[in-house]
Chain A
């Protein structure tokens, strides 16, 4: 039996009295690419940020390989350095060059010597096609380039799993492609990835499994061709039809009443 990289058991997260993630359980196997889809506000990003403890889960357990990272007294910093996180808003360190952005985690968190860190950073930047821009500052880059550096920064830490929080949502459609290409490449190289995304085309091509979330719960999950072609749940089918056609199947009736 393969040991899952991540094992999520009955995870819930509430903000105050508002439940955002409800009783979510799933396993992530090595080299698996999971794309989480669903409407806005259904707790996808919150779920992702619970996985590396940027949000503290209200209840439930998460295992990173053998280690229960939700155990009391767990050092969250040592947990996070084993998981790469890529943000919607890039969040590159503005005062550092591209190279500095990738090396700072290695030198300041992993304690690598500067020389080795630089070498490794150049390897990762090369992987995302940003090696030529190493001396530029984030403000001098396009959105797509920033996000590729964001990916290299996370890769530099040798993560066991990469978490992507809507990595292309802040990008122009024409810049989305270059980021998705890099992600596809990582997937084909065997990186374990969990991606919250609205890119259905990418989900169809790159995902091993698609999870559809609704109202903080996993409504349905399965291989992309099953989810996209023969969804079992009515909600999934509705969501996908809105996403792919750009409009709801039937116009809501109260809307018609509003028009005189």
Chain B
């Protein structure tokens, strides 16, 4: 194990904590059950955290959850907007995750060709 790598945890955690306070416009929920992890959900999560931090998107929070019933199309994330709009993305990888951050989270434009579901909750 490389300790220098672990040291970075502390710096990163502090930056990410700073991005965590208050009510956010977007909440991203990453499915992190066994199937999701096997399919690469951790990589998707890490890419999103890094990209959100790099772009300084202060109005986004990222959370993990257990299986959400889409085990066959993992990795899966749900992007929830404060007004109740929910978009589900499936079969993700790092590149698609970056695209979702760049278009949906940074510019309010859902990535239609990656979305598998959309609904509005009151």
| B and A form one assembly | no
A-to-B contact residues, CB < 8 Å: none
